[in-house]
Amino acid sequence: MTKLAIENFSFRYRDSGPDELSQITWTPAAGSFNLLIGASGSGKSTLLKAMTGLLPQFGGTVTSGEITLDDLPIATVAPFERAKRVALLFQNPNRQFAMATPLEQITFALENIQAPAADIPHQVDEALATIGITALANQNLITLSGGEKQKVALATILALGSDYILLDEPFANVDPHARHELMHLLKQLQMHHGKTIIVADHDFSGYPDLIDTVYQLVDHQLTQTDASVLSANTGVDPLFPAPSRNALSPLALDDVSIDMAGRPLIESATFALPAGQLGLLSGVNGSGKSTLFAAITHQRPYRGLLHWDGQDSQKIKMKRWAQTVGLVFQDAMDQFVALTVADELALSQKHTRLPDYWTTARIEQTLDQLNLTPHTEANVYQLSGGQQKKLQVLSMLIMSQPVLLLDEPLAGLDTVSMQHVLDLIQTSIQANHISALMISHQRIGLADYVDYEIHLQGHHLIMGGAQ
């Protein structure tokens, strides 16, 4: 049995400054199922990557202690020897495959660990069968759903024979049904194959029955906590009313359905966006919130009708539609078109629909409120995650499209910044009668800002917060 041990380990990405992980000591019990929790940015991914030896190989510095694999410092173990003992399943299922099909990917992994060529076909078949994806063996990975991709990743790890299976928010792009299936697969791997499982996750549902121990990262340090924290976290969220049926914006969905990988994701969605209000679009990961935004912005196909002022929106040219419905991307990197903060804002100011409202004085004042003034000459790619979010929201608010869709604009923001961003959104949409709809996993602190809620559940839009 392999032994993975963390001794007084500290790590940071930058050359100087505070550690991202501070003095962590942990020897996961062999054959146990562990849940790793902590706020976003608390260092869960960093810890998991360090435990697989990917850090500091791909950046950063160890400032104290070490991680050992069978009593050898993990950095001195070659990747193919590490992979046989400890493997990591990544958060983004799109970025972990080098090959085109599951069969090729698992074969590639087995070749890396120098498995005898004659045994490889049999080992591949066995791994695919254990996870139940034999039928997918020769399908192109690009055509698979998020859940299927994670199953392929799991089959690869199984074929490698790793004793430790580490998973970094593996269900973030996976629908609830597949999530349930994958969690039970993991439990079986623990029970029947003696694997040690460590999962980092934000969503605690389903875990209490599966796990042995919970570890929490707070202030860069790791502590073992009681499983009761998993249930204590629910039930304090505010609920919001259904959207009003008066004072509607010109945007309306009429029987809109969206398919994902051949299966229905959203069925017959019908609603009209209220004018001048901020709505919350809620629903678990994978329920189709971002996909709905992609349909409304004409970035993916849908069935049914999307009206603008009674007219079929498909008749409106893309360039004009982008000036009608704005989108704050989930990934800030997708939003930016200029290099510096000042250029980014100047561009929005040049093309804004409301030049009288977004005067230079108002923009400067807003920058000050958001604590971005010292960074105006900074490169947008070097800002922190929170600063990027603030800049992103501000540049889209300046554009002032009549409808604004915001995909997780509060992710990675601390409480104070979150308030500033929400204040800014509220002030500018009310002053300019903009209809805004926001996706947010964060509910606490929204009570004073959100006017209504639409909940996406079981392929349907439910008006008003779910109970």
Out of 191, 218, 261, 318, which residue is the one contacting other proteins (CB under 8 A)? 318
Q: Hey, which residues between 255 and 294 contact other proteins (CB under 8 A)?
A: none
Out of 29, 39, 72, 117, which residue is the one contacting other proteins (CB under 8 A)? 117
For residue 3, give the nearest of 67, 69, 60 by alpha carbon: 69
Q: How many chain residues are in contact with other proteins, going by CB under 8 A?
A: 64
Out of 247, 333, 444, 463, which residue is the one contacting other proteins (CB under 8 A)? 333
Amino acid at 64: S
Question: Which CB atom, from 313 or from 348, has the smaller least distance to other proteins?
Answer: 348
What's the min distance (Å) between Cβ of 423 and other proteins?
23
Q: Could you tell me the two tokens for 101?
A: 């099909």
What's the min distance (Å) between Cβ of 66 and other proteins?
19
* Residues 150-186 as b or e (16 or more Cβ within 10 Å = b): bbbbbbbbbbbbbbbbbbbbbbbbbbbebbebbbebb
239 neighbors 232 (Cβ within 8 angstroms): no
Out of 122, 350, 458, 467, which residue is the one contacting other proteins (CB under 8 A)? 350
Which strands, in side-by-side order, build the sheet including 4-12? 21-26, 4-12, 61-69, 72-73
Residue found by looking up tokens 């839009």 in the block: 461
352 neighbors 326 (Cβ within 8 angstroms): no
Question: Which CB atom, from 63 or from 323, has the smaller least distance to other proteins?
Answer: 323
Out of 114, 233, 314, 373, which residue is the one contacting other proteins (CB under 8 A)? 114
Out of 76, 270, 299, 311, which residue is the one contacting other proteins (CB under 8 A)? 299
408: annotated active-site residue = no
List the alpha helices (DSSP H) in 305-414.
318-322, 332-335, 341-351, 360-369, 385-399
SS (H, E, C) 102-139: HHHHHHHHHHHCCCCCCCHHHHHHHHHHHHCCHHHCCC
Q: Is 80 in the site for other proteins (CB under 8 A)?
A: yes
Q: Is 330 in the site for other proteins (CB under 8 A)?
A: no
Q: Is 382 in the site for other proteins (CB under 8 A)?
A: no
User: Which residues belong to the active site?
Assistant: 169
Contact residues: other proteins, CB under 8 A: 49, 52, 54, 57-58, 78-80, 82-84, 87-88, 90, 92, 94-100, 104-105, 107-117, 120-121, 141-142, 156, 160, 297, 299, 318-319, 322-323, 326-327, 329, 333-337, 347-348, 350-351, 381, 395-396, 399, 401
